Amino acid sequence: MPDGRRRKSSTIAMRSRRRRGEAAFPRAHDHGRNATTPPALGLLLLPGHTPGHQGLQLRLPHAGVVLLSGDLYHSREARRLRRVPRVNTDRAATLASMDRFETIAARTHARVVIQHDPRDIAALPHFPACLH
């Protein structure tokens, strides 16, 4: 296949995946980790805020599982009330992502960090200390 056709079909496939809310990374898998990250680090597809929005799952030796919510939640209250952010591309997808995130958090007994909530950031160890 000539290079031009291959590039065009690849671009069409990526656009199609984005429309369906799938990760833009061709090697990403929707099971908490992917082929390009170590097992202790996983990308979680959480569409809604944007079609390819992702959270992060860390498995730390002593701290256990830590989930970073990305833009899924902007505060602890938003999480508790399942409040969908104003800047959002798909409300139904966001609510489904919230359900998925909470299922993973419960199943893994994860520590959830909401990066937009100053209380969650303040509760993290300060550099050079870290979670292990």
pLDDT per residue rounded down to tens, the chain (132 residues): 455 554 454 455 555 555 554 444 444 445 454 445 566 899 999 999 999 999 999 999 888 999 999 999 999 999 999 999 999 999 999 999 999 999 999 999 999 999 999 999 999 998 888 876
**26 belongs to a structural domain:** yes
Q: What is the pLDDT of residue 92?
A: 98
Q: Are strands 41-45 and 111-113 parallel, antiparallel or unpaired?
A: unpaired
Q: Is there a domain that residue 79 lies in?
A: yes
Q: How many CA atoms lie within 13 A of 65 on its CB side?
A: 19
Q: Is residue 130 part of a domain?
A: no
Q: Tell whether 129 is covered by a domain.
A: no
pLDDT at 2: 52
Q: State the pLDDT at residue 128.
A: 84
Q: What is the CATH number of the domain that holds 51?
A: 3.60.15.10
| Residue 81 resides in a domain | yes
Task: Please report, in angstroms and rounded to a whole number, the separation of the first and last CA atoms in the chain.
Answer: 49
Query: What domain range includes position 104?
Result: 3-122
Number of domains in the chain: 1
Q: What is the structure's pLDDT at 94?
A: 98
Does residue 127 fall inside a structural domain?
no
CA angle 49, 71, 65 (to 5 degrees): 125
In a domain, 128, yes or no: no
Would 113 be classed as within a structural domain? yes
C-alpha torsion sign, points 91, 97, 102, 105: negative
